[in-house]
Amino acid sequence: MSELRPALVSFLLLTVVTGVAYPLVVTGIGQAVFSEAANGSLIREGNKSIGSRLIGQPFSDPKYFFGRPSATAPQPYNGAASSGSNQGPTNPALAAAIGDRVAALRALDPENKAPVPIDLVTASASGLDPHISPAAAEYQIARVARMRNRPEAEIRALVEDATEGRTLGILGEPRVNVLLLNLALDGKKVS
């Protein structure tokens, strides 16, 4: 009994410290210092949440820019099922999927003879990537302009406005958030 009491007291104390106090402190700091990120980096139109800056969304209408394919199941861009396809570069299923995606893009824009950027036909490691490369956006400008009956220069300007630079000027590559770009196409003001 003399050994059981200190063990129980230590167990209860550590449970309160690590299971209650520490999570509350970390959550409080996150909310105070990084409130947007701590709340999911949500994009809002008025009081309505329409997406996140961190998770891609499916766009299939050719008047919109398409993002990277998603490898999540049972539906695309499922944040609870973040994962890659685990298909290696020599996997015939991956080659077939890429071929099908290239064919679909070519069918939507048969006049575009440029090589299809790889990020339009392959999923990211998480399957949730909300960004495409500036080259992938450039590849789609003519189709989007034609479908919206707007000048290519106007659509190109929206792409340039939506292009984010490298983080801290050195990390990563320039990228375009597809959801934000498509909202700008629709003229929606988001916060």
Per-residue pLDDT of the chain (191 residues; tens, 9 = 90+): 788 888 999 999 999 999 999 999 999 998 899 887 777 788 888 788 888 888 889 899 999 999 999 888 788 888 888 877 778 888 898 899 899 999 999 999 999 999 999 999 998 888 888 999 999 999 999 999 999 999 999 999 999 999 999 988 899 999 999 999 999 999 887 76
Residue with tokens 């071929």: 99
Distance CA 48, CA 39 (A): 14
The reported pLDDT for the residue numbered 165 is 93
Residue partners of 14: CB distance under 8 A and separation at least 6: none
pLDDT attached to residue 73: 77
What is the rounded CA–CA span in Å between residue 124 and residue 131? Answer: 10
Q: Is 119 left (phi over 0), alpha (psi -120 to 50) or beta?
A: alpha
